[in-house]
A = this chain, B = another copy of it.
Amino acid sequence: MSTQTKEPAGAAKFTTSMDREIHIERVFNAPRERVWRAFTDPKLVAQWWGRGNKLVIERLEVRKGGHWRFVEHTKEGVPQGFEGRFREVTPPERLERTFEWDGAPGHVVVEAVTFEDLGDGRTRVVTVSLFHTREDRDSMIQAGMESGLNQSYVALDQLLLKAA
Contacts and interface: CB of A to CB of B under 8 A. Distances in A.
Contacts of A66: 105
Contact of A107 (B87, B100, B106): B87
Number of copies: 2
A108 B102 contact: no
Interface in A116-135: 130, 132-133
B130 A65 contact: no
A85 interface: yes
Interface string A83-100: 011110000000011101
Interface in A35-82: 64-66
Contacts of A85: 100, 105-106
Contact of A106 (B97, B102, B106): B97
A133 B19 CA distance: 13
Contacts of A30: none
A110 interface: yes
Contact of A108 (B64, B108, B133): B108
Contacts of A132: 108, 110, 130, 132
